[in-house]
A and B are shown apart, each in its own frame.
Chain A
Amino acid sequence: MTGSASPLLERMRAWSFALAGRDARERLERLRTPANEYGVDPYGFDLDYAVGALAPFLWLYRKWFRVQVHGIGSVPPQGRVLLVANHSGQLPLDAAMLGVALLVELDPPRAARALVEKWVPTLPFVSAFYARLGQVVGTPENCRRLLQAGEALMVFPEGVRGLNKPWSERYRLQEFGPGFLRLALECDAPVVPVGVVGAEEQAPRLLNLAPLARLLSMPAFPITPTILPFPLPTRYHLWFGEPMRFTGAPDDEDAVLEEKVASVKAAVQALVDRGLRERPGVFR
Chain B
Amino acid sequence: MARPPDPDAFPGIPGTVCVTGIAGNLGKQLARLLHGETRLIGIDRRPFREAPRDLEHHTLDVRKNKVEEVFRRARPEALIHLGIMHDPRMPRSEAHGFNVVGTHKILDICARHGVRKVVVLSSANVYGPHPDNSNFLPEEAPLMAAARQPDVADLVELDIYAQSFVWRHPEVETVILRPVHIVGPTVRNAPSNYLRLQRPLTVMGFDPMVQLIHADDVCRALALAIRPGSRGIYNVVGPGEVPLSAVLRELGRQPVPVPAFLLRRLLRQAFESRLTSFPPEELDHIQYLCAVDGSRAVRDLGWAPRHTLRETIRSVLAPA
List B contacts of A43 (CB < 8 A). Answer: 135, 209, 241
Which of B208, B246, B250: most chain A CB closer than 10 A? Answer: B246
B52 within 8 A of A: no
For residue B113, give the distance in angstroms from its CB to the closest CB of chain A: 40
B 67-103 binary contact with A (CB < 8 Å = 1; else 0)? 0000000000000000000000000000000000000
For residue A40, give the distance in angstroms from its CB to the closest CB of chain B: 6
B15 within 8 A of A: no
List A contacts of B293 (CB < 8 A). Answer: 145
B209 contacts A131, CB within 8 Å?
yes
Question: A44 with B131: in contact, given A1-B207, A124-B204, A124-B260 (CB under 8 Å)?
Answer: no
B243 contacts A38, CB within 8 Å?
yes
Q: How far is the CA of A37 from the CA of B135 in the complex (A)?
A: 19
B240 contacts A42, CB within 8 Å?
yes
Q: How far is the CA of A145 from the CA of B133 in the complex (A)?
A: 14
A36 contacts B242, CB within 8 Å?
yes
- Nearest residue, chain A, Cβ from B209: A44
B 238-271 binary contact with A (CB < 8 Å = 1; else 0)? 0011110110011000000001100000000000
Q: How far is the CA of A122 from the CA of B132 in the complex (A)?
A: 9
> With contacts A38-B246, A43-B135, A145-B134 known, what are 6 further pairs, Cβ within 8 A?
A1-B245, A40-B242, A42-B240, A121-B132, A124-B204, A131-B208
Chain B residues within 8 Å of chain A by Cβ, number = 31
List B contacts of A132 (CB < 8 A). Answer: 207, 243
From the candidates B131, B136, B309, name the one contacting A118 in the complex (CB within 8 A): B131
For residue A247, give the distance in angstroms from its CB to the closest CB of chain B: 26
Residues 8-41 (chain A) with a chain B CB within 8 angstroms: 36-40
- Interface range on chain A: under 10, 10 to 19, 20 to 34, or 35 or more? 20 to 34
A2 contacts B243, CB within 8 Å?
yes
List B contacts of A139 (CB < 8 A). Answer: 132-134
Q: How far is the CA of A128 from the CA of B240 in the complex (A)?
A: 18
List A contacts of B127 (CB < 8 A). Answer: none
List A contacts of B204 (CB < 8 A). Answer: 124-125
The 22 listed contacts between A and B (C-beta, < 8 Å) are A1-B245, A2-B246, A36-B240, A36-B242, A36-B309, A37-B308, A40-B242, A40-B243, A42-B135, A42-B209, A46-B243, A121-B132, A124-B203, A124-B206, A124-B259, A125-B205, A126-B205, A137-B132, A137-B133, A139-B132, A142-B136, A145-B136
List B contacts of A4 (CB < 8 A). Answer: 249
Residues 125-174 (chain B) with a chain A CB within 8 angstroms: 131-138
Question: A142 with B134: in contact, given A124-B206, A128-B206 (CB under 8 Å)?
Answer: yes
A38 contacts B242, CB within 8 Å?
yes
A122 contacts B131, CB within 8 Å?
yes
Residues 262-310 (chain B) with a chain A CB within 8 angstroms: 288-289, 293, 308-310
Q: How far is the CA of A141 from the CA of B293 in the complex (A)?
A: 11
Sorted from nearest, which 3 A-B pairs have the closest CB atoms? Answer: A124-B205, A125-B205, A121-B131
List A contacts of B134 (CB < 8 A). Answer: 137, 139, 141-142, 145
List A contacts of B310 (CB < 8 A). Answer: 37
For residue A33, give the distance in angstroms from its CB to the closest CB of chain B: 15
A121 contacts B288, CB within 8 Å?
yes
A136 within 8 A of B: yes
A128 contacts B205, CB within 8 Å?
yes
Q: How far is the CA of A46 from the CA of B241 in the complex (A)?
A: 12
For residue A153, give the distance in angstroms from its CB to the closest CB of chain B: 13
List A contacts of B208 (CB < 8 A). Answer: 131
From the candidates B243, B288, B309, name the one contacting A37 in the complex (CB within 8 A): B309
